[in-house]
Amino acid sequence: MSTKDTYNNVLEKAANLEVATETVSGHVPNVRTVNYVYFPNESANTIYFITSKDANKVKEITANNQVSFTTSPSEAGTVRVTGATATDANDKKDEIFTEMTKRYSDFQMDDQKARDGMQAYGLTFTEAEVIGADGGKVEF
């Protein structure tokens, strides 16, 4: 399997992402676990997640949109990205919710008011490190 194939396999199978932002008070990393979706046919180097508009990570991303992340380890391996750019992805929110519901059996967000209270982000990057069998760097 090529490194790129392993990369795609990991992103399809990993349970979650651990996303690191910088605190608003500055220069302190803040890591949290988020559910995510990946649309490889649209963009192989963008991962999407949603969060409450009131979450600290929204304030942190507004102050500094450079983030890093790693997938939760799985048998397939791990993908790690440093220096992804987080951008508003609310225009894809419906598609993200649909895929989240398919990917996570306990994820249900049918209430429109609850959906309106969520912020969607795309994390776009130029390079990913694949850790595990057939690991290496993938460049976009």
Domain ranges of the chain: 3-139
Q: Can you give the pLDDT at residue 74?
A: 80
Among residues 29, 31, 41, 45, the alpha carbon closest in space to that of 79 is found at 45
Residue 131 has pLDDT above 80, yes or no: yes
Lowest mean pLDDT among 8-12, 102-106, 111-115: 111-115
Question: What topology does CATH give the domain 3-139?
Answer: Pnp Oxidase; Chain A (2.30.110)
Give the rounded percent of residues in the chain with a pLDDT score beyond 70.
99
For 74-89, b where at least 16 C-beta lie within 10 A, e where not — what string?
bebbbbebeebebeeb
Residue 115 has pLDDT above 70, yes or no: yes
